[in-house]
Chains A and B, each alone.
Chain A
Amino acid sequence: MSIEVKNITHIYSEGMPYESVALQDVSFSVADGEFVGIIGHTGSGKSTLVQHLNGLLKPKSGSIFIGDTDITGEKVLMRDIRRKIGLVFQYPEYQLFEETVHKDVAFGPNNLGLSEEETDHRVREAIGLVGLDYEELAERSPFELSGGQKRRVAIAGVIAMKPEVLILDEPTAGLDPRAHKEILDMIRSIHETEKNITFLISHNMNDIAALSDKVLVMEKGQIAMMGTPREVFSRGPELKEMGLALPPAAEFMNRMREKGCPAEASILTKEEALEALLLRLRVNREQVAQ
């Protein structure tokens, strides 16, 4: 399955004195199995964009093809779209409502009208995928869990619907470093097992650089840049102008270069930076030895 977004425009509160253009002429396409990172400062239209992808918002103009269906069309069944495309909102733990974790995760599958066995199977699988212990948590109230656990339960609620496209809107916001890393590892492993298209909105450039195949940079409701992380993060000055930053490792290497330490310009992650620095050290040592 692939996604093709063509020239969509969205206006909030149209006709009101406070109307605002949230998206303007946005186009992009995503191939099957791709991991797409979306960055942009607050209010740049990231959340609005992803809400279009599962039909929660309708564009004023333009079309969105999910596979072969145009979901902006009149006759599409929203249920089919939402089954294919799972959207995890910011702070998803605030949508928990059931008495037990099991029931809460089963809410989505039940809405799809699946059989009881199938629902049960999917709930177990989803809770496992988000790294929680089914036997331990299934019958507990979701409200007595820790923040990180609540969030994982909420994410499991979406994963249990087995979406072919998974969209996560700032899934690590407000979490401590450990929960952050766990959620991120979870996202990576889900992407690897399910082989779905994943969208990740994040302000953490490190996460984006580490996970994405493709990065979309949003600015004032438009796509300012699009490309591989390496392409996008090689345009540091432009990103800074938009209020964004480089991944810490890339920033570090840039500063090193400014100080006169020769290093490649295309370094994105800690591991790459470490390797480059070690190489540099080794070369230095050999030169000294000679």
Chain B
Amino acid sequence: MIRDITLGQYYPGESWIHKLDPRTKIIGTFVFLVALFLVKDFWGFLVAVAGLALVIGISRVPLNFILKGLKPVFLIILFTFVINMFMTKGETLVGWGFLVITREGLYNAFFMGVRLVLLIIGSSLLTLTTKPIKLTDGIENLLGPLKKIGVPAHELAMMMTIALRFIPTLLEETDKIMKAQMARGADFESGNLLKRAKSLVPLLIPLFISAFRIAQDLAMAMEARCYNGGENRTRMNAMRYSRRDLLAAGAMILFVVLIVMERNLI
């Protein structure tokens, strides 16, 4: 159950997408996310879906693996959908008292839902095809210019690396503690909301203690190896753009042009 969460998880592979420079993928994801908010209408979404489908196809990450990652955010999507459906003013389709579904509302809700789904899939593709360590190398490099104005780029990237690195560890820990408490008769799956929230206490307290323990151990291990920030650090694998990245950049530009055309011309 807890293993189903794919957000922030890496899916091992050797595909073209996996081999792209992390910086290209970060910029690409960012462009994709911004483009999603430029999209106005059906055709734009079609382009976005097609683009995403193409990337998924090339990356060879199984679709059902990606869709599993949507499960935990399903409620948020549903909530957005419902809010949009009822809260938009316009031509009334159906109405019960103060609850009114408008044509515009339905339209907005649908597109907002699709937008969210695409947003999540788009960003999870980045982490699915990029090892966390490469991802943060990329982020650090992209933030490099900001170091001049005092942004601690390396430290930020390191924090992110650690956070990403420990998602699976903490999930595993959660799974373990959950099982241990279930073996003592704890029930996490039934009862009303209050009861369920209460039943989380035996899970959360040991989990917090574990998290602090892990953090302490990690800090100690880093210090033992004389870690002291970004100054003068070199890399084992220096990042280099290749022809692949040029091609990807071309695809990205084409994508943006299509989206902008849709916004302004149709």
Q: Which residues of A in the span 105-119 have a Cβ within 8 Å of any Cβ on B?
A: 107-108, 111-112
Known contacts A16-B65, A89-B176; decide if A95 and B181 are in contact (CB<8 Å): yes
Once the chains are docked, how many angstroms separate the CA of A86 from the CA of B181? 11
User: Residue of B at shortest CB range from A83?
Assistant: B185
The smallest beta-carbon distance between A47 and chain B, in angstroms, is 10
Residues of A within 8 A of B64 (CB): 15
A-B pairs under 8 A by CB, number:
64
Residues of B within 8 A of A79 (CB): 185, 187
- Asked if residues A161 and B181 are in contact (CB atoms below 8 Å), the reply is no
- Asked if residues A18 and B12 are in contact (CB atoms below 8 Å), the reply is yes
- Asked if residues A82 and B183 are in contact (CB atoms below 8 Å), the reply is yes
Q: Which residues of B in the span 1-34 have a Cβ within 8 Å of any Cβ on A?
A: 3, 11-13
Residues of B within 8 A of A157 (CB): 184
Q: Tell me, yes or no, whether B144 is within 8 Å of chain A by CB.
A: no
Known contacts A17-B11, A97-B202, A97-B205; decide if A111 and B179 are in contact (CB<8 Å): no
User: Interface of chain B, helix or strand or loop or mixed?
Assistant: helix
Known contacts A16-B65, A17-B12, A89-B176; decide if A94 and B206 are in contact (CB<8 Å): yes
The smallest beta-carbon distance between B194 and chain A, in angstroms, is 17
- Asked if residues A111 and B180 are in contact (CB atoms below 8 Å), the reply is no
Known contacts A16-B65, A94-B209, A107-B202; decide if A82 and B179 are in contact (CB<8 Å): no
Residue from B13, B182, B187, B210 in contact with A56 in the complex, judged by beta carbons closer than 8 Å: B182
Report the interface size class on chain B: 20 to 34
User: Residue of B at shortest CB range from A96?
Assistant: B206
Among B65, B185, B205, the most chain A Cβ lie within 10 Å of the Cβ of: B185
Once the chains are docked, how many angstroms separate the CA of A143 from the CA of B179? 21
- Asked if residues A111 and B205 are in contact (CB atoms below 8 Å), the reply is no
Q: Tell me, yes or no, whether B260 is within 8 Å of chain A by CB.
A: no
- Asked if residues B184 and A97 are in contact (CB atoms below 8 Å), the reply is no
Known contacts A18-B12, A51-B179, A97-B201; decide if A111 and B206 are in contact (CB<8 Å): no
The smallest beta-carbon distance between A7 and chain B, in angstroms, is 24
User: Residue of A at shortest CB range from B201?
Assistant: A97
- Asked if residues B12 and A161 are in contact (CB atoms below 8 Å), the reply is no
Residues of A within 8 A of B179 (CB): 51, 56, 89
Once the chains are docked, how many angstroms separate the CA of A82 from the CA of B185? 6
Residue from A56, A89, A111 in contact with B185 in the complex, judged by beta carbons closer than 8 Å: A111
Known contacts A13-B3, A94-B210; decide if A111 and B183 are in contact (CB<8 Å): no
Residues of B within 8 A of A94 (CB): 176-177, 180, 206, 209-210
Q: Which residues of B in the span 138-184 have a Cβ within 8 Å of any Cβ on A?
A: 176-177, 179-184
Once the chains are docked, how many angstroms separate the CA of A83 from the CA of B187? 13
Residues of A within 8 A of B183 (CB): 54, 56, 82, 86-89, 158
User: Residue of A at shortest CB range from B208?
Assistant: A97
- Asked if residues A92 and B185 are in contact (CB atoms below 8 Å), the reply is no
Known contacts A56-B179, A97-B205; decide if A161 and B65 are in contact (CB<8 Å): no
Once the chains are docked, how many angstroms separate the CA of A94 from the CA of B170? 13
Residues of B within 8 A of A51 (CB): 179
Q: Tell me, yes or no, whether B186 is within 8 Å of chain A by CB.
A: yes
Once the chains are docked, how many angstroms separate the CA of A158 from the CA of B186? 12
Once the chains are docked, how many angstroms separate the CA of A233 from the CA of B201? 45
User: Residue of A at shortest CB range from B183?
Assistant: A87
Residues of B within 8 A of A15 (CB): 64
Residues of B within 8 A of A108 (CB): 184-185
User: Residue of B at shortest CB range from A97?
Assistant: B205
**B interface footprint on A148-159 (CB within 8 Å = 1, 0 otherwise):** 000000000110
Residues of B within 8 A of A17 (CB): 11-13
The smallest beta-carbon distance between B134 and chain A, in angstroms, is 19
Q: Which residues of A in the span 1-48 have a Cβ within 8 Å of any Cβ on B?
A: 13, 15-18
Residues of B within 8 A of A92 (CB): 180
The smallest beta-carbon distance between A110 and chain B, in angstroms, is 8
Q: Which residues of B in the span 182-233 have a Cβ within 8 Å of any Cβ on A?
A: 182-187, 201-202, 205-206, 209-210
Residues of B within 8 A of A56 (CB): 179, 182-183
Once the chains are docked, how many angstroms separate the CA of A161 from the CA of B182? 12
Once the chains are docked, how many angstroms separate the CA of A97 from the CA of B203? 8
- Asked if residues A107 and B184 are in contact (CB atoms below 8 Å), the reply is yes
- Asked if residues A95 and B185 are in contact (CB atoms below 8 Å), the reply is no
**A interface footprint on B45-65 (CB within 8 Å = 1, 0 otherwise):** 000000000000000000011
The smallest beta-carbon distance between A121 and chain B, in angstroms, is 17
Residues of B within 8 A of A143 (CB): 209
Known contacts A13-B3, A16-B65, A18-B12; decide if A95 and B182 are in contact (CB<8 Å): no
23 A-B interface contacts by CB (under 8 A): A17-B12, A56-B182, A79-B185, A82-B184, A88-B183, A89-B180, A94-B176, A94-B177, A94-B209, A94-B210, A95-B177, A95-B180, A97-B201, A97-B202, A97-B206, A107-B185, A107-B202, A108-B184, A111-B184, A111-B187, A112-B185, A143-B209, A158-B183
Q: Can you add 10 more A-B contacts, CB < 8 Å, to A16-B65, A87-B183, A94-B177?
A: A17-B13, A82-B183, A87-B180, A89-B179, A92-B180, A94-B210, A95-B177, A96-B206, A97-B201, A112-B185
